[in-house]
A and B are shown apart, each in its own frame.
Chain A
Amino acid sequence: MKDMTTGGPAPSAEDMKLIKKFLEDTTLFLGPDPEIMQNHDLMQRSADEEHAIANVPDTHTIAKIRDRLQAGCDEGYEMVEQMGAAPGAKWGDVITGIYSASGDLAIASAGGVLLFSSVVHHPIKFIVKNWMNEPTVGVRDGDGFIHNDSRYGNVHNTDQSMILPIFHEGRLVCWVASTVHEGENGAIEPGGMPSMAESPSDEGLKMSPFKVVENYQIKRDLLTFLQNSVREPKLQLEDMKVKLFACLRIKQRIEETLKTDGADALISTLRLTMEDVRAEVKRRVSEWPDMSVRTYIIQDSTLRENCVVKVNCTLTKKGDQLTFDFRGSSPEFTNRATNTILGGLKGMLSQLFLCYIWPDLPRGQAAMAPIEVITDPHSILNCSYDAPNSQSLMSIFTGFTAGQHAVAKFLYSCPEKFTKVHAPAFNMINTFIWGGVSQHGETLGNLCADLNGMGAGATSNRDGEHALAPIFATMADIGEQEVNEEDVPFLQLVSKKMTRDAIAPGKYRGGQGYTMMVATKDSEQWGFMTTAQGAKIPPIQGLFGGYACGTYPLSKVQGVDVYDVMLNEPEKFRHSIEEIMNEQPFEGARYTTHHMGMGFDISKRGELYMISQGAGAGYGDLLERDPVGVVKDIEEGLMSAEVAARLYKVVFDPATLAIDFDATEQARADERKARIARSVPYAEFVKGWNQPKPPAHLPYFGCWGDDIETLYMGSPDKTRRGDEPKPNYMVHPKDVRIAELEARLAAAGVPGDEKQ
C-alpha cells in the first residue's frame, strides 16, 4: 500500500523500530502521555497474569485472598485517617489500594474517596512505561514514588500519592498506593485549590511521578525541596511519612499472602477480580432499557465571574454498552481554573456507579472500565495541558450530577436494582477554605470539613437525608469543628443549623443543608475563600416532577466585631443568615451578598462570613407529599409555614399546625386544575419559548439545543466548532468593573483627556 502523505513506500518494520528508538532517545520532555491519560479500561492480560490464572483459577481461593487484601487496604486507610496531619485525612479524604503490575487498580479500601481510585493508575502506568527501564531512575524494591500533578492523573494538585512497587523473588508482582487530599501545595492561594489560577503555573507543586523514597527511606534533599515549595512544611513531611507507612502495612499484608499462597495466587486474584467486575457491569447494564437519556447541568460561574456554563450529557445504552456523550459541553477556559482533565470526570462517574448504583461491587478500576465516555477536545470536561484545572471539582461534580440524573431514568423500569432510584445529591463544596498565620504563629492553609455535609437527594420511597455526605466520599465524616478551632484563629459561630426555606420540594423532598457563620478572632493574618457555584442557577436537576435545590450565596457583614457584640450586647446577635441580613442588627455595619467564588479574602476580627450547605433534589410531584411530612418540616425549622402552605397546598391551623385533611385534599385537587389552566400544550409552548441561539443577555458557553457541533463562547455571535479547539480567554473581573465605571464617567460627561 502506498503512503498517501509522501507518495513513497511505507517504512519497513525495521525502519519503524529505528524511527521509534530515535524519537525516544531525543524526547526532551516526558509530559503526560495521551495513550495513558485518555484510557480508563484495563490493560491487556500480561503473560504473568495468563500463567497465574492457569495455575490458580479457583474462585474460592481467590475470594479468600481478595478478602485478605481488602482488609489490608482498609487497615492502611485507617492508619492514614488516624495518623494523617491533613484535615482531609482526618475525615476520610483518603484512599489506599493495590494495583496490578501493569498499573490497574484491582482492590481499593472500602472507605474514602473512590474517585482517587480511578485516577492513580495513570501515574503508575507512567512509571511502568518511562522509569522502569530508565537507567537513571529504575524501579527497585524499597523505592517509593510521589505524584500530584493532575495532568499525569489526579483530580487536582492538592491530592498527593505515595506509590510503592511490591517485589517477590526479584519480580514486580503489584503496586500499592495511598492518596490524601493534603490541602496546601504552594499555589497562588492557600489550601491547594486556587480559584484565582489563570494558568497551570499558578497551581503550586507540579509533581510528575518521581522517586522520593529509596530503601524505604524518604530522601531528605527532595523532601526539603518539597517542604520549601509549600506553606505547610510540617504537613508535607508528616503526611509523606504516614502514606509511606500505610503502604508498608499493606505491603506486609501482601507478603503474608505471598508466603501462604504464592505469587500466582496473588496475581490471579488481582486480575480475575477486575475481569469479573468488568463482566458483571456489562451484565447489569444489559438489563437496562435500550434508550438515550438527555440532560444538562449549568455551572453558573467560573468562580471569578457569573456566566452560564453548560455540561451537556446524552447517556445511551444499547445491549451491554453504556456511553456517556458529553459533547456540546462548554469549551475549556484558557485562564480559569474550573476545567478538568478527562480522567477526573471518569473517576467521578466511577464514584457514581460504585457508591450510588452498584455499591455491592468490589471497589476498583474495573467497574468503570467497560463504560465509554465521549467529549470534545479542549472541553471543560477534557481540558488541555495548558489549561489550569485546580478547581476541576466544579466540572467533575456537575458532570457527575448529569450522570446521576440520567441514570435514574434507566433504573426505574429495571427489575434488578441495587439501590433505590434517587434524585441528584447536592454537588457543591459549600465550605470555607482558610489560611494565614494561626494564633500559635504557624502558617496554615486548608479547609473546613463542612464540604462533606452535602444534602442527599430524595429516593423513590423517602426524603433525602440532611447534610449526609459528599458525593465524592459517601462514607466521609464532617469532623469535629471544636477540635479544629484549637488550631485555627477563627470560630464557627453558627454551625450545623439547618437553613430554613432553602428547599428542594417534591413528593419526597431533598435533604437540606446547614448554615455556617465564621469570624476570625485571634490573628491579623488570616483569611477565607469559598469555591462553589450555584448562587444564581441551581447546580442540579429534580427528578420525576420533583424540584432541584435553590441557590446559595455568600453573605458578609463588615465593619463590626461580633466578638465585642457578644461580650457587650449579646442580645443583638442572631443565629440565622435570614435574621442577620434582614434585621441588620449591628449598627454601622455593611451587609453584602456575593456569588460563591470568593477569592482569598483577608478578614478582620469579628467580621462575619456566612454561607449554607445545599439541598439534594426532590423526587416526584410535591402535591403527593404526605401532609404530615410537610408539617414535620415546619416543626423542624426546615420550612416556614407560609412557604409550606403555599407550595404544598396543605391546610393547617397556623397556631397548632393541626392538619385539615379534607381541606388539604380539596386544595390539592384545585391546584391540579389550576396547573392545567395555567399550562399550555407543548407544541404551542415551544413556539413562544424556543430561541435559535442563546439569549444576548447571558454569557453562555456550550452548545444550544440539538446542535452539539457549535459551541457558544460567551455571546450569541462567538462560537467554535466542538472538534476544533480555540482559546477562550475571560477578561479580569476588575477590568470589567473598571470599564463599566469608565463608561459611567463618560456618560456623565467627565472629559476623557487622559494621555493614552
Chain B
Amino acid sequence: MTMKVPMTEYLRIDLETEKWECRVCDHVIAPAAGNYKEGLLVHNRDPREIHPPVIDPAKYRYTFCPDPDWVRILEFCCPKCGTQIETEYATPGHPPLWDMQVDVPALKAQWASRGPAMLPDAGPAVVPGRGHAH
C-alpha cells in the first residue's frame, strides 16, 4: 500500500512515486527530491495590496505598508486548484528559496519503521459545511 506523508498544510510526499502532491486536489506537483515550487505557479504581489495603508500614502513616507521597492510577496499556488501553498517575502530579484530539500530515501526508511497509523491527521481542515469542497 502506498503511503503519503503530509509535509505541510497543503503538500504531501507519495513515498512510492516519490512525488510532491497537492493535498487539496491530489495534483502531482514535482519530484520529491527536488523543489516543489518548480511545479507551482508564482505571482509577484505588491505588498501594499495585502498590508493596506493605515495612513495616507499621499501625505506620508511610512504608511504601515511594506515598501514595494524593497520587498515583494511571492505567492505560490497549485496550478490545478489555485490553493495558495506558500508565500515568500522576497528582496526584489532574489532567487526564490528551495525551502524544503528532503532526503527522500531517509524519509522512506523512517516511515517504513513507523507505518501509516502514525501519519499526522491535522489539516487541511475545512470550515464545516460552508468551506470549499476538497
Give me the interface of A with B, judged by CB distance under 8 Å: 289-296, 298, 300, 308, 310, 318, 409, 412-415, 417, 421, 460-461, 499-503, 505, 507, 535-538, 541-542, 544-555, 577-578, 581-582, 591-595, 612, 619-624, 626-628, 643, 647, 661, 664-665, 668-669, 671-673, 675-676, 678-683, 685-686, 689-691, 694-695, 697-698, 700, 704-706
Given contacts A536-B67, A624-B126, A676-B41, contact A577 B118 (CB under 8 A): no
Within the complex, the shortest CB–CB distance from A746 to chain B, in Å, comes to: 25
CB neighbours (8 Å) of B40 from chain A are 682
In Å, the complex CA distance between A227 and B91 comes to 46
In addition to A664-B130, A672-B83, 19 A-B residue pairs with Cβ atoms within 8 Å of each other are: A290-B102, A291-B107, A293-B99, A298-B91, A412-B6, A461-B122, A502-B64, A505-B50, A536-B70, A544-B8, A544-B10, A544-B85, A545-B10, A547-B50, A593-B62, A612-B64, A624-B127, A675-B41, A685-B44
* B86 A545 Cβ-Cβ under 8 A: yes
Q: Which residues of the partner chain A approach B9 to less than 8 Å between Cβ atoms?
A: 412, 460, 507, 544-545, 619-621
Contact between B50 and A626, CB atoms less than 8 A apart: no
A-B contacts, 6 listed (Cβ < 8 Å): A292-B100, A501-B52, A536-B71, A547-B87, A624-B132, A647-B50
- Given the interface pairs A318-B103, A694-B91, the reply to whether A679 lies near B66 with Cβ below 8 Å is no
Contact yes or no, A550 B64, CB < 8 A:
yes
Interface residues on B, range: 35 or more
A621 and B83 contact, CB distance less than 8 A: yes
Chain A residues whose C-beta falls within 8 Å of the C-beta of B82 in the assembled complex: 671-673, 675-676
Alpha-carbon distance A620/B9, docked complex (angstroms): 7
Q: What CA separation (Å) do A668 and B131 show in the bound complex?
A: 9
Asked if B69 CB lies within 8 Å of chain A CBs, one says: yes
Are A621's CB and B84's CB within 8 A?
Answer: yes
Do B101 and A292 touch across chains, with their CB atoms under 8 A apart?
yes
- B66 — which chain A residues lie within 8 A by C-beta? 536-538, 550-551
Q: Give chain A residues whose Cβ lies under 8 Å from the Cβ of B63.
A: 553, 593
Q: B28 near A: Cβ within 8 Å?
A: no
Produce 1/0 per residue, B56-99, CB < 8 A to A: 10011111111101110101110101111111110111111111
Q: Which residue in A541, A544, A689 is a CB contact (below 8 Å) of B89?
A: A541
Q: Are the CB atoms of A545 and B132 closer together than 8 Å?
A: no
Contact A623–B127 (Cβ < 8 Å): no
Residue of B54, B81, B99 most packed against chain A (CB within 10 A): B54
Q: Is the CB of B60 within 8 A of A541?
A: no
Tell me which residues across on chain B come within 8 A of A536, comparing CB atoms: 62, 66-67, 70-71
Indicate if the CB atoms of B60 and A704 lie closer than 8 Å: no
- Is B112 an interface residue when CB atoms closer than 8 A count as contact? no
B72 → A minimal CB distance (Å)? 9
What B residues does A291 contact at CB under 8 A?
A: 100-103, 107
Taking A550-B51, A550-B65 as contacts, is the C-beta distance between A698 and B120 under 8 angstroms? no
From known contacts A291-B101, A682-B38, infer whether A577 and B54 are also in contact, taking CB-CB under 8 Å: yes
Which residues of B are found within 8 Å of A503, using beta-carbon distances?
51
Q: Do B8 and A290 touch across chains, with their CB atoms under 8 A apart?
A: no
Helix, strand, loop or mixed for chain B's interface?
Answer: loop
Among B59, B73, B82, B106, the one with the most A-chain Cβ atoms within 10 Å of its Cβ is: B82
Select one of A415, A501, A548, A621 contacting B64, CB under 8 A. Answer: A501
Q: Give the residue of A546, A578, A619, A682 whose beta carbon is less than 8 angstroms from that of B41.
A: A682
Task: Judge whether A289 and B102 touch: CB under 8 Å.
Answer: yes
Within 8 Å CB of A675, what residues of B?
A: 41, 43, 75, 77, 82, 84
Q: Which of A500, A505, A661 contacts B130 (CB 8 A)?
A: A661
Alpha-carbon separation in the docked complex, A409 to B8 (Å)? 7
Q: How many Å from the CB of B30 to the closest CB on chain A? A: 9
B121-134 toward A: CB 8 Å interface, digit per residue (1/0)? 01111110011100
Q: Are A298 and B106 in contact (CB under 8 A)?
A: no
Give the complex CA separation of A673 and B81 in angstroms: 8
Residue among A310, A417, A553, A628 with most chain B CB within 10 A: A553
Q: Taking the nearest CB of chain B, how far is it from the CB of A413, in angstroms?
A: 5
State whether A413 touches B7 (Cβ < 8 A).
yes
* Most chain B CB inside 10 Å of its own CB: which residue of A555, A672, A706: A672
Q: Which residues of B sit under 8 angstroms from A669, Cβ to Cβ? A: 132
Interchain CB contact (< 8 A) of A690 among B87, B93, B102? B93
Which of A461, A507, A686, A690 is most buried by chain B, counting CB atoms within 10 A of its CB?
Answer: A507
CA distance A415 to B7 in the complex (A): 11
Residues 17-44 of chain B: 1 if any A CB is under 8 Å from the residue's CB, otherwise 0?
A: 0000000000000000000011111111
Contact residues in B for A298 (Cβ distance below 8 Å): 71, 89, 91
CA distance A146 to B43 in the complex (A): 55
B110 at the interface (CB under 8 A from A): yes
Residues of B within 8 A of A643 (CB): 52
Is B54 a contact of A502 with CB atoms below 8 Å?
Answer: yes
